[in-house]
Structure 1
Amino acid sequence: MTATDLFGYCEELTEAERDKLALLRAFLDEHARPFLAQWWEAAECPEHLRVGLAGLRLDDDPALLDDTGRLRPLYVGFRGLELARCDLSVSVLYAGQVSMFRTLVREGGSPEQVAELDPRIPTFEYTGCFALTEPDHGSDVAGGMETQARREGDGWRITGRKRWIGNAAISDVIGVVAVDESGDAKVFLVPRDAPGVSVQDISGKISLRMVRNGDITLDDVVVSERQRLQRIDSFRDIADILAFLRPDAAWTATGTQIGAYESALAYAQRRRQFGRPIAGFQLVQEKLARMLGNATASLAMVVGLTNAREQGRGGDAESALTKAWISDALRETVALGREIGGGEGIRVEHDLARYFADAEAIYTFEGTREINSLIVGRAITGLSAFTR
């Protein structure tokens, strides 16, 4: 599947899965890759790609589904890798809808809600985002959530703010996590254009420049009980949903490393100094070898995690260790790629700067390195260091 898959992990995919991923790569190479530098510099969201991506049927092709109507986790991982290999923002554009929002509805909705909404999500007929984090609360949001939902008869009144919500401005509904009067978590599918909802794009970013991250204000927003996802009644339920999504960040970080390595190799092969390509210089080859080693080790680790979780092994600690280790490797990999580009390495045209900048977002989201390290530390010592 890719020259960086040195140990052939893609051979664990079915033929139908490999064919589908090949279609995805061809689509991205034709419709996204030639324009990425332009979109990134202009901070322009390529939301028009959603139509073409939906047409590939990456999530609802019957040839990909198991007997329960679900995708195999390994395929989902490689799909995330392939998207991130092209571009992180394009990955968020697609996965924020089809992975994150769909999982929220599938795992949190009643059977009736799932039956009504789930088929419309992979087609982008019904679009949504997952609004969990707040301006003053990220990793500690479960213990300090300020967005409130107050029951009023047959409905609810929501007040609060959410921040860093990807795809917020281009979604039909916002999956708002709020606490009720007893302090329990609830999730509401709030129409983006409902009275009292305001979405402001977050600007001035050095990462995810093409993603429309939203700063959301909810001012006495009224919703019905029907708009509440019926199987979410606590932060434990939210945590269970996030557990489904936890490997995604590691796959994304691995795909970004592969994209950075391939871009650095291509640049080194065409860039000439002292009469020959710099790919023939010892120092450049050493950097390329380290980049490939990082990407290979990351792929091995995330495939191992994914297979373990499918077999009922590998919990929070294993996921946290994988995310933390691969994120560290990612930072080194993209920095080496930028170094290979020299002065040209800071120009978006050669892709190296884009991977370099976007790595900072991956390093932070789905739990910072420090938070993930504390999860691992708690597991191996039996002692929690989160609070004094």
Structure 2
Amino acid sequence: MSTTVLEQRLYSVADWYDAEALLTTEERAVLGRLRNFLDTEAKPLLAEYWERGDFPEQLVRPLIDLGIMEPFAAPARGIYQGFRIFELARTDASLATWYTAQAGLFRTAIRIGASEAQQKEWMPKVIDFSLKGVFSLTEPEHGSDIAGGLSTTARFETGVDGGAGPDGGSWVLDGAKRWIGGASTADVLCVFARDVADGQVKAFLVDRLAPGVSLEKINGKTSLRMMQNAHITLQNVRVPEAMRLHNVNSFKDVAAMLRAMRSDVAWIATGIQAGSFEAALSYAKERRQFGRSLGSFQLVQEKLARMLGNITASLSLVVRLTEQQGRGIYRDQDSALAKMQTSLFMRETVALAREVVGGNGITLASDVARFHADAEAVYSYEGTHDINALIIGRALTGDSAFTR
């Protein structure tokens, strides 16, 4: 491939086998506009806000106004959505996590959990961000075991007039949620709670400002410092039946959402690798040691080659998974494998990047330091390595090794 063609590609450095070729010219143009915004408006702010532990709110409206969620006349293809996440993550993990909280988690909750009438009302508002929401599943004492351990409760009460049917009353929620990213600026919290009447998990859109809802910022984080994660307490919170997601009636429905969303995290893990690799490669070309370019040393080149191999393998995984899901094939073990393996590759890639940059790799003057720290959060969320491995093992052997 000629240098001229390579220079026209968005991902000519990290995308060795040119997965970008699967994108249309129109899709690449949108991603190019996103990159221009991230390079000129976002990157100059990242080190300062990461160190402060604050999110750069001044980026929110301009990023929304780019209209990158559904920028085409036809619904956006999965491969475009994947590369959109990839582009965000190769700039910053918190930006990618913040955007996918709306475009991935919350939108998926509405797409899978809402009735046809609810989707007709809410989905356009989700796409243009006029209804901002977050996915509120994890609890203080329940993360990996949330399927059986979810303890937030929902109790239905009929209306004052006795209520002929569920529309005549409301639900009362009690419990707590934790690690909910973006909750402080959301309009609604998509809260999952166990119905005390039948023991099944239901989902509700809860007004963030409703009586009985309180949010506390989680401080002291060493990863995803820009992302604002909240501890949410729900005390006697009333939610109308109309705000219950009518297609969520058991944890199986929640699992269908997780199955679809886990691939987004695999794309984030892949994008983080690309960002750290590009930063390390740039540093290796510019830095001089012992009178030579750092990139001319054999050991440095070996590290760069391993990083590229990890990224190439990760892109192959997420692209193939995205193609399968585009054909309607959604299996727990497929998304679990992609998330598990890309996260493993990510951990090694960011560590190698930090090694290449040396002592400067632990300062925010290098992008590598952010990627190195933020990767730890991505390694754990949306399914830890162990949980994803057990999902895959169950599919391979037919036996569940989950603790009962």
* Common fold by TM > 0.5: yes
Shift of 1:382: 1.0
CA distance in 1, matches of 2:316, 2:135: 29
1:338-357 matched pairs, under 5 angstroms: 338-357=354-373
The equivalent of 1:222 in structure 2 is 238
The equivalent of 1:33 in structure 2 is 43
Match of 2:107 among 91, 102, 109: 102
Are residue 245 (structure 1) and residue 261 (structure 2) matched? Answer: yes
Tell me the secondary structure at the aligned position of residue 67 of structure 2.
coil
Of 33-42 and 97-106, the range deviating more from structure 2: 97-106
Shift of 1:216: 0.3
Of 11-20 and 117-126, the range deviating more from structure 2: 117-126
CA distance in 2, matches of 1:149, 1:9: 46
Which amino acid in the other structure matches residue 60 of structure 2? R
Match of 1:279 among 271, 279, 295: 295
CA distance in 1, matches of 2:55, 2:221: 13
Are the equivalent residues in 1 in contact too, given 2:153–2:194 (CA < 8 A)? yes
The equivalent of 1:85 in structure 2 is 90
Which amino acid in the other structure matches residue 146 of structure 2? V
Shift of 1:61: 2.0
What per-residue deviation string (whole Å, max 9, x for no partner) do you get for residues 145-200 of structure 1? 11001101100110000001110111111010001111111111111111110100
1:1-388 matched pairs, under 5 angstroms: 1-2=10-11, 3-63=13-73, 65=74, 70-153=75-158, 154-181=169-196, 182-313=198-329, 315-387=331-403
CA distance in 2, matches of 1:309, 1:62: 20
Which amino acid in the other structure matches residue 41 of structure 2? H
Are the equivalent residues in 2 in contact too, given 1:200–1:214 (CA < 8 A)? yes
Tell me the secondary structure at the aligned position of residue 150 of structure 1.
strand
Which amino acid in the other structure matches residue 361 of structure 1? A
CA distance in 2, matches of 1:200, 1:314: 35
Which amino acid in the other structure matches residue 377 of structure 1? G
What per-residue deviation string (whole Å, max 9, x for no partner) do you get for residues 9-50 of structure 1? 111111111111111111100111111111100111123322
Are the equivalent residues in 1 in contact too, given 2:188–2:208 (CA < 8 A)? yes
Shift of 1:347: 0.3
CA distance in 1, matches of 2:192, 2:390: 25
Are the equivalent residues in 2 in contact too, given 1:47–1:93 (CA < 8 A)? no
Tell me the secondary structure at the aligned position of residue 321 of structure 1.
helix
Which amino acid in the other structure matches residue 21 of structure 1? L
CA distance in 1, matches of 2:188, 2:21: 38
Shift of 1:303: 0.7
Shift of 1:277: 2.1
Tell me the secondary structure at the aligned position of residue 138 of structure 1.
coil
Are the equivalent residues in 1 in contact too, given 2:260–2:330 (CA < 8 A)? no
CA distance in 2, matches of 1:373, 1:106: 27
Which amino acid in the other structure matches residue 373 of structure 1? A
Structure 1: give runs of 5+ residues left out of the alignment: none
Tell me the secondary structure at the aligned position of residue 149 of structure 1.
strand
Tell me the secondary structure at the aligned position of residue 57 of structure 2.
coil
Of 127-136 and 4-13, the range deviating more from structure 2: 4-13
CA distance in 2, matches of 1:61, 1:253: 24
Shift of 1:53: 1.5
What per-residue deviation string (whole Å, max 9, x for no partner) do you get for residues 337-379 of structure 1? 0111111110011011110011101110111111111111111
CA distance in 2, matches of 1:7, 1:29: 24
Shift of 1:314: 5.6
Of 305-314 and 103-112, the range deviating more from structure 2: 305-314
CA distance in 1, matches of 2:189, 2:243: 11
Tell me the secondary structure at the aligned position of residue 210 of structure 1.
coil
Q: 4+ residue runs of structure 1 moved beyond 3 angstroms?
A: none
CA distance in 2, matches of 1:353, 1:131: 29
Which amino acid in the other structure matches residue 244 of structure 1? A
Are the equivalent residues in 1 in contact too, given 2:259–2:330 (CA < 8 A)? no
Decide whether aligned partners of structure 1 residues 365 and 157 sit closer, same or farther in structure 2, where only a CA change above 3 A counts: same
Tell me the secondary structure at the aligned position of residue 284 of structure 2.
helix
Tell me the secondary structure at the aligned position of residue 127 of structure 2.
coil
User: Identical aligned pairs, as a percentage?
Assistant: 51
What per-residue deviation string (whole Å, max 9, x for no partner) do you get for residues 267-291 of structure 1? 1122221223211111111111111
Superposition CA RMSD, Å: 1.2
The equivalent of 2:165 in structure 1 is none
TM-score, structure 1 length as denominator? 0.96
Tell me the secondary structure at the aligned position of residue 159 of structure 1.
strand
Are the equivalent residues in 2 in contact too, given 1:320–1:375 (CA < 8 A)? yes
Shift of 1:248: 0.7
Decide whether aligned partners of structure 1 residues 155 and 247 sit closer, same or farther in structure 2, where only a CA change above 3 A counts: same
CA distance in 1, matches of 2:329, 2:99: 28
